[in-house]
Amino acid sequence: MIVIPAIDLRGGRCVRLVQGRFDDETVFDEDPVAVARRWQEAGAQLIHVVDLDGARKGVPQHFHVIEQICRAVSVPIELGGGLRDRGVIEQALGFGVNRVVVGSVAALDEDLAWRLIRRFDTQLVIGIDARDGKVAVRGWEQVTERSATDLANSLADLGARRIIYTDIARDGMLTGVNLDAMREMVAAVCIPVIASGGVSSREDLQALAGIGVEGAIVGKALYTGALSPDVIREFD
């Protein structure tokens, strides 16, 4: 299992939200490019970048910053937030993003999701975000009636190669991971699962490694010092 540092962008700055709420934001750094360099120096094998404004508006808002990040580091960049059509995804990949995360599209339009999976293959990651096991979309502001595992199974059947599963209730809370939900997701599909939401300790990381996730996205715990950057190499 690898530890994947997160960079969440809003208003051009590196921030963290609590449970995805845009009215509960903490700014951790004014320079996301410097943050990316820091995670590279700490040994990151992959950096997870989210355009929060893009997720909310449906169109990426930080391509200029993300392009600067891609130029500044040699670590692969994984990008999510507002990537909802082929042209935008191709644009992101064109300036150096290594793989993209689609969430709302996958949940709301499986025909389009299938076409994107066919076109981008391993460069496409499905982001499934859930509240109480139900899929949330459009920057986490709308919750559907569909279960996360049902969506994951359908998309895996369509050929999806990888899933990022986020438990929104734990995201940014530093209260630990929802291990039961993550275990259920890992058991539900035969493709790699990356866990996101709530990681606050080495014990959380060890527990996730024990259930077989491919990686764990860590944000607030690294920014606040609850976890030392040393964990990035420790779980290499």
Whole-number pLDDT of residue 175:
65
Q: Which residues pair with 83 in a beta bridge?
A: none
Where along the chain do its domains lie?
Answer: 2-234
Does the 2-234 domain belong in CATH 3.30.390.10? no
E strand or H helix at 163: strand 163-167
Read off the pLDDT band of 58 (50, 70, 90).
Answer: confident
**Parallel/antiparallel/unpaired status of strands 2-10 and 13-18:** antiparallel
Q: Tokens 């009636």 identify what position?
A: 145
Rounded distance between C-alpha atoms, residue 106 and residue 84, angstroms: 9
∠ at Cα 139 (137, 143), nearest 5°?
Answer: 35
Q: 8 an active-site residue?
A: yes
Render pLDDT for 152-210 as a digit per residue (tens, 0 to 9).
999 999 999 999 999 886 655 566 899 999 999 999 999 999 999 889 999 999 999 99
Classify 98 as helix, strand or coil: coil
Render pLDDT for 92-142 as a digit per residue (tens, 0 to 9).
999 999 999 998 888 889 899 999 999 999 999 999 999 888 898 876 667
Which candidate in 85, 109, 111, 129 is catalytic?
Answer: 129
The model's pTM is 0.93
Rounded distance between C-alpha atoms, residue 236 and residue 184, angstroms: 24
Q: 129 an active-site residue?
A: yes
Structure tokens of 221? 């715990």
Ramachandran class of 166: left when φ > 0, alpha when ψ lies in -120 to 50, beta otherwise: beta
